[in-house]
């Protein structure tokens, strides 16, 4: 009888180890016996050392020994074991006949007591009495936990959440500067479930149903054929989400892989059989909503059962075992994405057939393709030992079985691969790096140096990649074989995949494998709206050909018809796939970016954005708030996907364009309430204070003015508001603190008390503006130029006019009194607003003063026209407004004429003292210059002749045309 020996480590994947957490006032049974066993107790709260994710803890050595003894007695094999991976797993060594070894291996994989772990976050107030002072488990909760633990054969403990004692950051949608410090989010604890994988999944669902019932929801179960569950839910569970949305219920499905892992069910354990039934679906919600949801599920299942089709396909048995034990999450994701169910044979069996059930051919084909892609990650290597020379008279050389046993254990433990020895051949099964490392270790053994040897690797690949890997006329394969002296052979395996065998005598086979792996296809898929396909491909495909040639990547665009027949590539919505040899994988992203440059930003780069929303709000968001969810999806061109209810996850996924998903997340969080607690020191007066009318008035006022609800609890106050309104939390907290302090109730000091200072007035937020529109503590002087105008609105208007000047420099170079009106002492003094960069003022006649001052009396004395004089007299009693100065900045054309006129007719060095009338005895020199210093006539010869020719007007007065021009300019100036 040929001896078959295998050595493997279970669990294979490396996971973090977590010591059993201390329970909180809830002693739980080990559950390998009855629920009446004595319970260990723990009277303190201990924070777990790390996150309580789905991990595998070390199994009990006694249980492992019991399993090994049972396997040996049942199947007649020799089983040895020892700890591996620093106590996180076990290495098993099985020897015997092939059939018995495979059955024993399957039994160990299925029933090995490796402890899986899951945690459910729950508010302490839901399951604990006196959660702040002396936490103790509620009697009803204790009873329900005992019941669930005994029915599901799981171990349940109540422990402190890792978040409860650490410094927390603000939740999603809450600004870190919004003043929520001094408050704390609701304290939570965790229900930690450990046990076999099936037991953990069952217990988690039952605990979630229990928590819903504790919150006042109605719960019912219904039984539907397990194969129909994913089909009823629809692709990406869209159909199930619509049922939950319409009925405002929570629907909990059993695990899609239930029954494959864990010990055989014992139907004699009370009513546990009904809870371990993989057909049971739990529904929670309002009573009539639950009834509607159950009816809808039955109707959909009846309809779908008539259209279910199935298809069988073959996969290597060890690959099936690896998928179920190591890639369970991937398998569940494939089934949920495609609305299909995959029936696997029992673990460890030699059956290689799987059956895929679905209601649409495209979904079934896509499921099989995904499974085959997963299978391609698993390699098989073999190391054959051949005699140096053949002699029929001598017995064939053989290896010592005891030495082989030690070698297999060492190789398996070191590399993580499953190592088999049979018929002078070492076989390695595992991932690529594991198999390569195992072959390398065998090559270095001294005992094999007395043998010739041949090394083979077997790779599985999709049929659609066959031409890609071989190249034109098998050019790529021929080049590798010539370079490394190895043999490469293609073999048909099934309708979807084929096998590549690569064989060689020595290290060259490893080199050949590396070269072959460089030619294996690497691909990326993404979504591009079909409206852009023709634009990207170009006329005759020229545009996309240029891009493909640039990066050396093949691109395939699927139109609507092809996409419908394909069902999407890696993701359901992907309609573009790009492939290139693995050695050129870096260019995949470059090509995607080049293609996406031709797509509008609102339609490109579809990504998944995750946002954390407490699980207890999901039912409300899906039910009552569904109209807002659909509105968000429409406005942002995205889709909101809630997590599967049975996972107890808080993470909501938003799928859409990268530029839109952040907006969608913010809009979604606006509909999620935010709760925070403010703890206060224990006080006997607190209940009395909370019953006062003053406290109720305060709560009503805060709710009315700040939209923040305050609810008193045991030695704490709960604040509740919308996340978009979280900025008012600090104000509400301060108002409550002040009320408590006024009634001699002590409060804990706020972490921001020394840094936050409440503003005295709204105007302190604008320190740079000195305006009576915004009240400030500054006292204005009584000598303001506008003291005769009490109209504040008019001043605001004039300030805006001054700021609307087209010359921005003038705003910064203007005199300070434009903004500080009280500093100006003479209300009748006029100083030009603009600087010399805007226009250069002329000095007053007969004065060496560099800047121009103009008094009302001088203006009248220089006036030579009665119309002008009357206009000036009207303005004496009115203070000059800033509006005039603002408009004076715009007189570019008029000022240029002033400068030209002054250059042609320079002012006299010594002007005479004019009176109201200028007679014929006026100085001829002064007659050639304008009398009004700020308004000059146009620099035209005719105008100058009119002004300066005494023969035309003996009194040197302005003619009608001149008067009209001066009047026009004055009216423009607002004088």
386: three-class secondary structure by DSSP: strand
What's the rounded mean pLDDT across residues 213-229? Answer: 94
Predicted confidence at residue 188, as pLDDT, reads 82
Q: Which residue has the higher pLDDT, 429 or 820?
A: 429
Q: Which of 519, 553, 579 is the last residue of a domain?
A: 519
Q: Look up the CATH number of the domain holding residue 720.
A: 3.30.1370
Rounded CA separation 817/770 (Å): 11
pTM confidence score: 0.70
515 falls in which pLDDT band (50, 70, 90)? very high
In a domain, 151, yes or no: no
Residue 543: pLDDT over 80: yes
Q: What tokens appear for 227 in the block?
A: 């194969």
Do 421 and 553 belong together in one domain? no
pLDDT tens string 291-333 = 999 999 999 999 999 999 999 999 999 999 999 999 999 999 9
Do 480 and 423 belong together in one domain? yes
Q: Look up the CATH number of the domain holding residue 657.
A: 3.30.1370.10
In a domain, 222, yes or no: no
What's the rounded mean pLDDT across residues 411-426? Answer: 91
Rounded CA separation 944/920 (Å): 18
Rounded CA separation 849/871 (Å): 27
Contacts for 389 with CB less than 8 Å, ≥ 6 apart: none
- Paired residues of 56 in beta bridges: 116
pLDDT tens string 117-167 = 999 999 888 888 876 667 788 899 999 999 999 999 899 999 886 655 433
Mean pLDDT taken over the chain: 75
Predicted confidence at residue 226, as pLDDT, reads 94
In a domain, 215, yes or no: no
Residue 798: pLDDT over 80: no
Predicted confidence at residue 974, as pLDDT, reads 57
Residue 766: pLDDT over 90: no
In a domain, 814, yes or no: yes
Do 638 and 721 belong together in one domain? no
In a domain, 494, yes or no: yes
Q: What tokens appear for 333 in the block?
A: 């994701």
973 falls in which pLDDT band (50, 70, 90)? low
Among the listed ranges 366-370, 394-398, 653-657, which one has the minimum average pLDDT value? Answer: 394-398
Q: Which of 552, 573, 599 is the last residue of a domain?
A: 599
Do 801 and 905 belong together in one domain? yes
- Half-sphere exposure of residue 163: CA atoms within 13 angstroms, side-chain side: 18
- Paired residues of 461 in beta bridges: 498
Do 961 and 819 belong together in one domain? yes
Q: Look up the CATH number of the domain holding residue 441.
A: 3.30.310.210
Q: Which of 584, 599, 614 is the last residue of a domain?
A: 599
612: three-class secondary structure by DSSP: strand
Which among 438, 443, 439 is positioned nearest to 416, based on CA atoms? 438
Consecutive H or E run containing 508: helix 508-519
Among the listed ranges 71-75, 387-391, 860-864, which one has the minimum average pLDDT value? Answer: 860-864
Do 442 and 531 belong together in one domain? no
What's the rounded mean pLDDT across residues 588-615? Answer: 88
Predicted confidence at residue 917, as pLDDT, reads 43
Predicted confidence at residue 182, as pLDDT, reads 57
Residue 667: pLDDT over 50: yes
Among the listed ranges 445-449, 523-527, 560-564, 585-589, which one has the minimum average pLDDT value? Answer: 445-449
Question: Exposed, middle or buried, 290 (CB in 10 Å: 0-12/13-18/19+)?
Answer: buried
883: three-class secondary structure by DSSP: helix
What's the rounded mean pLDDT across residues 823-843? Answer: 41
Residue 425: pLDDT over 50: yes
pLDDT tens string 355-365 = 999 999 999 99
In a domain, 755, yes or no: no
Predicted confidence at residue 750, as pLDDT, reads 57
Do 831 and 900 belong together in one domain? yes
Do 418 and 560 belong together in one domain? no
658 falls in which pLDDT band (50, 70, 90)? confident
Predicted confidence at residue 582, as pLDDT, reads 92
Predicted confidence at residue 764, as pLDDT, reads 45
Rounded CA separation 794/883 (Å): 11
Q: What tokens appear for 618 in the block?
A: 């999901």
Residue 916: pLDDT over 60: no
8 Å CB contact between 856 and 876: yes
Predicted confidence at residue 964, as pLDDT, reads 73
Predicted confidence at residue 897, as pLDDT, reads 52
Distances (CA, A) of 817 to 309, 785, 882: 87, 9, 10
Residue 631: pLDDT over 90: yes
Do 365 and 477 belong together in one domain? no
Predicted confidence at residue 555, as pLDDT, reads 93
Do 502 and 531 belong together in one domain? no
Q: Which residue has the higher pLDDT, 738 or 805?
A: 738
Per the structure, how many domains does the chain have? 6
Rounded CA separation 921/636 (Å): 85
In a domain, 30, yes or no: no
Percentage of the chain with pLDDT > 90? 40
What's the rounded mean pLDDT across residues 910-937? Answer: 42
In a domain, 843, yes or no: yes
Do 643 and 590 belong together in one domain? no
Residue 826: pLDDT over 50: no
Distances (CA, A) of 758 to 704, 730, 733: 21, 10, 12
174 falls in which pLDDT band (50, 70, 90)? low
Task: Find tokens 């018995």 and name the residue.
Answer: 100
Q: Which residue has the higher pLDDT, 786 or 641?
A: 641
Contacts for 538 with CB less than 8 Å, ≥ 6 apart: 544, 545, 546
Do 363 and 401 belong together in one domain? no
Predicted confidence at residue 686, as pLDDT, reads 86
- The domain of 857 spans 792-973
Predicted confidence at residue 438, as pLDDT, reads 94
Q: Which residue has the higher pLDDT, 337 or 946?
A: 337
DSSP track, 165-224 = SS-PPPPTT--TTSS-BTBEEPPEEEEEEEESHHHHHHHHHHHHHHHHHHTT-EEEEEE-
961 falls in which pLDDT band (50, 70, 90)? low
Residue 497: pLDDT over 50: yes
């Amino acid at each position: 009888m040929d001896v078959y020996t295998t050595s493997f480590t279970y669990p294979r994947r490396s996971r973090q180890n977590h010591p059993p957490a201390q329970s909180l006032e809830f002693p739980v049974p080990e559950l390998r016996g009855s629920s009446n066993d004595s319970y260990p107790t723990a009277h303190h709260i201990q924070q777990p050392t790390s996150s309580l994710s789905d991990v595998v803890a070390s199994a009990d050595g006694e249980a492992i020994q019991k399993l090994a003894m049972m396997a040996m007695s049942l199947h007649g094999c020799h089983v040895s074991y020892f700890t591996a991976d620093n106590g996180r797993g076990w290495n098993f060594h099985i020897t015997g006949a092939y059939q018995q070894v495979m059955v024993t291996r399957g039994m160990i994989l299925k029933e090995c007591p490796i402890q899986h772990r899951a945690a459910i976050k729950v508010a302490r107030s839901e399951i604990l009495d006196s959660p702040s002072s002396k936490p103790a488990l509620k009697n009803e909760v204790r009873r329900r936990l005992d019941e669930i633990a005994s029915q599901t054969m799981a171990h349940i403990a109540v422990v402190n959440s890792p978040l409860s004692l650490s410094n927390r950051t603000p939740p999603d949608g809450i600004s870190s500067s919004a003043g929520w410090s001094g408050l704390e989010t609701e304290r939570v604890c965790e229900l930690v479930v450990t046990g076999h994988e099936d037991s953990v999944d069952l217990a988690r669902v039952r605990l979630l149903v229990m928590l819903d019932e504790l919150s006042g929801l109605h719960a019912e179960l219904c039984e539907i054929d397990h194969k129909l569950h994913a089909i009823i839910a629809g692709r990406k569970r869209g159909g199930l989400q619509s049922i939950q949305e319409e009925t405002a219920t929570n629907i909990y499905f059993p695990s899609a892989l239930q029954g494959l892992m864990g010990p055989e069910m014992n139907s004699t354990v009370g009513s546990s059989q009904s809870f371990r039934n993989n057909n049971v679906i739990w529904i929670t919600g309002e009573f009539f909503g639950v009834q509607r949801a159950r009816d809808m599920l039955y109707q959909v299942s009846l309809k779908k059962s008539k259209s279910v089709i199935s298809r069988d396909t073959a996969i290597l048995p060890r690959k099936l075992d690896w998928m179920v034990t190591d890639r369970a999450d991937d398998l569940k994701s494939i089934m949920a994405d495609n609305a299909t169910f995959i029936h696997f044979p029992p673990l460890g069996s030699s059956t290689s057939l799987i059956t895929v059930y679905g209601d649409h051919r495209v979904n079934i084909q896509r499921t099989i393709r995904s499974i085959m892609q997963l299978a391609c990650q698993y390699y098989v290597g073999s190391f054959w030992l051949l005699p140096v020379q053949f002699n029929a008279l001598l017995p064939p050389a053989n290896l010592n079985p005891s030495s082989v046993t030690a070698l297999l254990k060492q190789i398996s433990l070191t590399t993580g691969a499953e190592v088999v020895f049979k018929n002078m051949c070492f076989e390695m099964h595992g991932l690529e790096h594991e198999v390569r490392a195992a072959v390398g270790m065998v090559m270095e053994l001294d005992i094999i140096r007395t043998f010739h040897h041949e090394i083979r690797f077997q790779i599985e690949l999709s049929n659609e990649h066959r031409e890609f890997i071989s190249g034109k006329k098998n050019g790529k394969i021929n080049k590798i074989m010539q370079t490394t002296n190895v043999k490469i052979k293609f073999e048909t395996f099934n309708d979807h995949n084929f096998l590549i065998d690569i064989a060689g005598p020595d290290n060259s086979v490893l080199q050949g494998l590396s070269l072959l792996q460089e030619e294996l296809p690497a691909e990326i898929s993404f979504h591009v709206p079909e409206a852009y396909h023709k634009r990207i491909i170009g006329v005759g495909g020229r545009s996309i050909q240029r891009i493909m040639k640039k990066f050396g990547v093949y691109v395939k665009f699927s139109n609507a018809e092809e996409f419908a027949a394909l069902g999407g590539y890696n993701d359901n919505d992907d309609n573009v796939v790009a492939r290139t040899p693995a050695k050129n994988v870096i260019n995949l992203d470059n090509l995607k970016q080049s293609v996406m440059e031709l797509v509008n930003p609102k339609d490109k780069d579809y990504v998944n954005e995750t946002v954390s929303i407490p699980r207890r709000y999901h039912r409300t968001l899906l039910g009552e708030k569904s109209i807002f969810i659909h509105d968000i999806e429409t406005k942002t061109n995205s889709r909101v996907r809630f997590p599967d209810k049975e996972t107890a996850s808080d993470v909501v996924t938003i799928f859409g364009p990268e530029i839109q998903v952040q907006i969608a997340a913010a809009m979604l969080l606006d509909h999620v309430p935010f709760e925070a607690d403010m703890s206060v020191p224990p006080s006997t007066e607190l209940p009395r204070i909370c019953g006062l009318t003053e406290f109720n008035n305060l709560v009503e006022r805060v709710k009315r003015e700040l939209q923040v609800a305050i609810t008193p609890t045991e030695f704490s106050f709960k604040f509740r508001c919308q996340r978009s309104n979280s900025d008012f939390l600090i104000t509400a907290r301060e108002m409550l603190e002040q009320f408590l302090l006024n009634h001699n109730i002590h409060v804990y000091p706020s972490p921001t008390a020394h840094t936050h200072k409440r503003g005295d007035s709204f105007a302190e937020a604008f320190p740079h503006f000195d305006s009576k529109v915004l009240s400030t503590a500054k006292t204005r002087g009584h000598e303001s130029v506008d003291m005769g105008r009490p109209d504040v609105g008019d001043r605001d208007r004039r300030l805006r006019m001054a700021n609307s000047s087209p010359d921005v420099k003038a705003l910064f170079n203007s005199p300070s009194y434009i903004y500080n009106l009280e500093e100006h002492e003479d209300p009748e003094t006029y100083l030009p607003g603009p600087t010399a960069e805007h226009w250069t003022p002329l000095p007053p006649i007969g004065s060496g003063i560099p800047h121009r001052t103009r008094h009302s009396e001088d203006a009248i004395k220089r006036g030579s026209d009665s119309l002008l004089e009357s206009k000036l007299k009207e303005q004496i009693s009115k203070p000059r407004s800033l509006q005039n100065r603002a408009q004076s900045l715009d007189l570019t054309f008029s000022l240029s004429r002033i400068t030209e006129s002054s250059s042609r007719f320079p002012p006299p060095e010594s002007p005479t003292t004019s009176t109201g009338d200028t007679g014929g005895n006026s100085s001829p020199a002064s007659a050639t210059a304008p009398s009004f210093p700020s308004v000059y006539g146009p620099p035209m010869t005719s105008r100058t002749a009119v002004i300066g020719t005494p023969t035309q007007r003996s009194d040197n007065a302005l003619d009608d045309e001149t008067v009209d021009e001066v009047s026009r300019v004055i009216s423009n100036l607002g004088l």
